[in-house]
């Protein structure tokens, strides 16, 4: 069934700049606040933020299963608790209201003035109250690079990697929105094998280019979600910078995995782009060998062609793009990740966040972390201001961007931008 809100010919009566991430075919959801309004649910077309609480109060969202509290709130969780059909119907209603030729709202200038807010007057907030956060490890190129660097190049992938979507439980409390700076973390490090560990600020701070998806309420404890059902339980996606302290991680991750090296911060883009909006960009995935077990088999297109880039901006200097990658490089897709996550009966709740793991492609320019780009610090990266980077320095800003493009329509996520401050 064709979703009319994805029609490439649709135009909005709101002006949309060229190469905007937010045409009328997108209609993402987020939480915004202004000097006059506390945080509330918003959408966006072009450079205009749409105040959905005011739109509801003015009567434009009638006959949808929402009430005022679903929009007058500081997270999208209330909205998402109504499920896939309700949020899809809301997106379709917004598409209709703001389409060229539909004048119910357009012709009421007083209402338009109340509903639309210029993006430069809106502060975007954390969009989701994240209950649980799972970080997968689903890029074959990334896993191969790490295995080559730290283990045996001839056996870079661990024996289980081609059989299961490897993942671990992360820290939800330190997920933050774009624009919030972080302090360089501190922890134990072991610079060489002969000496005792030392304590101090991380010296090998790294970004990890990831995408994350957010779930609706799942099934009760003890039941599982199949790959065929997965899309009905996924609300949308955002870009994630899953920060990593490589020197702390190297010392602490054996035998149980990263802890302080990962829990200090994960930064996300503030707009959640729905799976509905991404459907035109779904593509076939890679051939999986060996053949996966029955519960991980899937039909249809569950991978997505999302162009991704990472830039480093030294303080008071021009940014340098250090990575051009694509989400299509993932080996394990979201449907498989969700099916694996729940196959043991684990229950998924509204607002759970699941990240892809570092997204690396097959070529050096598509590597999704400084660990790979600088190859463990042996290949420094030249910045436009003449400086070099092996890892991230204090006062650097890391910027990640992502978008899909097809049939003249560009659907984007905006950016996640985070400045690194010195350790406290």
Q: Is 0.75 surpassed by the pTM of this model?
A: yes
Domain residue ranges of the chain, discontinuous segments joined by +: 4-124, 133-421
CATH of 4-124 among 1.10.10.10, 3.40.50.1970, 3.30.70.20, 2.30.30.230: 2.30.30.230
Residues 99 and 13 sit within 8 Å (Cβ to Cβ): yes
The pLDDT value given to residue 2: 62
The pLDDT value given to residue 255: 87
Q: Which of the residues 142, 302, 329, 341 is marked catalytic?
A: 142
| The pair of three-digit structure tokens given for residue 246, joined into one six-digit string | 């490589």
The pLDDT value given to residue 58: 98
> Which residues, 6+ apart, have CB-to-CB distance to 27 below 8 Å?
5, 43, 44, 45, 91, 94, 95, 274, 277
Question: Closest by alpha carbon to 241, among 257, 215, 264?
Answer: 264
Residues 379 and 232 sit within 8 Å (Cβ to Cβ): no
* 340 part of the active site: no
Region class of 313: left (phi > 0), else alpha (psi between -120 and 50), else beta: beta
The pLDDT value given to residue 256: 83
CATH of segment(s) 133-421 = 3.90.850.10
Q: What is the residue-level pLDDT of the chain in tens, covering all 424 positions?
A: 568 999 999 999 999 999 999 999 999 999 999 998 999 999 999 999 999 999 999 999 999 999 999 999 999 999 999 999 999 999 999 999 999 999 999 999 999 999 999 999 999 999 999 999 999 999 999 999 999 998 889 899 999 999 999 999 999 999 999 999 999 999 999 999 899 999 999 999 999 999 999 999 999 999 999 999 999 999 999 999 999 999 999 999 988 888 999 999 999 999 999 999 999 999 999 999 999 999 999 999 999 999 999 999 999 999 999 999 999 999 999 999 999 999 999 999 999 999 999 999 999 999 999 999 999 999 999 999 999 999 999 999 999 999 999 999 999 999 999 999 999 9
Burial 283-297 (b: 16+ CB within 10 A, else e): eebeebeeebeeebe
Residue with the two structure tokens 């009328």: 24
3-class SS string, the chain:
CCCHHHCCCCCECCCCCCCCCCCCCCCCEEEEECCCCCCEEEEEECCEEEEHHHHHHCCCCCCCCCCHHHCCCCCCHHHHCCCHHHHHHHHHHHHHHCECCCCCCCCCHHHHHHHEEEHHHCEECCCCCCCCEEEECCCHHHHHHHHHHHCCHHHCCCCCCCCCCCEEECCCCCEEECCCCEECCEEEECCCCCCCCEEEECCCEECEEEEEEEECCCCCCCCCCCCCCHHHHEEEEEEEECCEEHHHHHHHCCCCCCCHHHHCCEEECCCEEEHHHHHHHEECCCCCCCCCCHHHCCCCCCEECCEEEEEEECCCCCCEEEEEEEHHHCCCCHHHHHHHHHCCCCCCCCCCEEECCCCCCCCHHHCCEHHHHCCCCCCCEECCCCCEECCCCCCCEEEEEEEEEECCEEEEEEEEEEEEECCC
């Amino acid at each position: 069934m064709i979703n009319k809100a994805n029609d490439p010919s649709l135009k909005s009566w709101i002006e949309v700049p060229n190469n905007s991430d937010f045409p009328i075919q997108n209609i993402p959801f987020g939480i915004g606040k202004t000097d006059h309004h506390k945080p509330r649910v918003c959408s966006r077309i072009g450079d205009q933020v749409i105040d959905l609480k005011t739109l509801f109060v003015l009567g434009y969202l009638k006959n949808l299963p929402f009430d005022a509290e679903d929009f007058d709130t500081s997270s999208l969780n209330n909205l998402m608790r109504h499920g896939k059909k309700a949020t899809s119907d809301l997106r379709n209603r917004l598409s209709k209201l703001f389409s060229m030729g539909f004048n119910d709202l357009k012709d009421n200038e007083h209402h338009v003035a109340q509903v639309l807010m210029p993006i430069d007057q809106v502060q975007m907030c954390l969009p989701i109250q994240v209950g649980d956060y799972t970080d997968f490890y689903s890029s074959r190129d990334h896993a191969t690079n790490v295995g080559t660097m730290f283990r045996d190049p001839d056996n870079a992938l661990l024996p289980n990697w081609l059989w299961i979507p490897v993942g671990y439980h992360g820290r939800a409390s330190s997920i933050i929105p774009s624009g919030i700076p972080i302090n360089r973390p501190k922890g134990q490090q072991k610079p060489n094998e002969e000496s005792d560990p030392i304590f101090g600020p991380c010296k090998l701070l790294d970004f990890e280019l990831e995408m994350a998806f957010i779930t609706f309420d799942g099934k009760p404890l003890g039941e599982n979600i199949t790959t065929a059902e997965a899309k009905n339980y996924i609300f949308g996606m955002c870009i994630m910078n899953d920060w990593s302290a490589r020197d702390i991680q190297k010392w602490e991750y054996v035998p149980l995995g990263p802890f302080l090296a990962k829990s200090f911060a994960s930064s996300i883009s503030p707009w959640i782009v729905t799976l509905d909006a991404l459907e035109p960009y779904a593509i076939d995935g890679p051939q999986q060998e060996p053949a996966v077990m029955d519960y991980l088999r899937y039909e249809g297109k569950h991978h997505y062609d999302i162009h991704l880039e990472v830039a480093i901006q030294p303080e008071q200097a021009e940014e340098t793009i250090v990575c051009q990658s694509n989400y299509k490089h993932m080996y394990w897709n979201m449907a498989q990740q969700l099916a694996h996550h729940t196959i043991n009966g684990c229950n998924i709740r509204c607002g759970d966040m699941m990240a892809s793991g570092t997204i690396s492609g097959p070529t050096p320019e598509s590597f999704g972390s400084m660990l790979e780009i600088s190859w463990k610090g042996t290949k420094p990266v030249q910045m436009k201001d003449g400086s070099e980077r092996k890892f991230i320095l204090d006062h650097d800003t890391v910027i990640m961007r992502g978008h899909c493009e097809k049939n003249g329509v560009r659907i984007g996520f905006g950016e996640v931008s985070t400045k690194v401050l010195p350790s406290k």
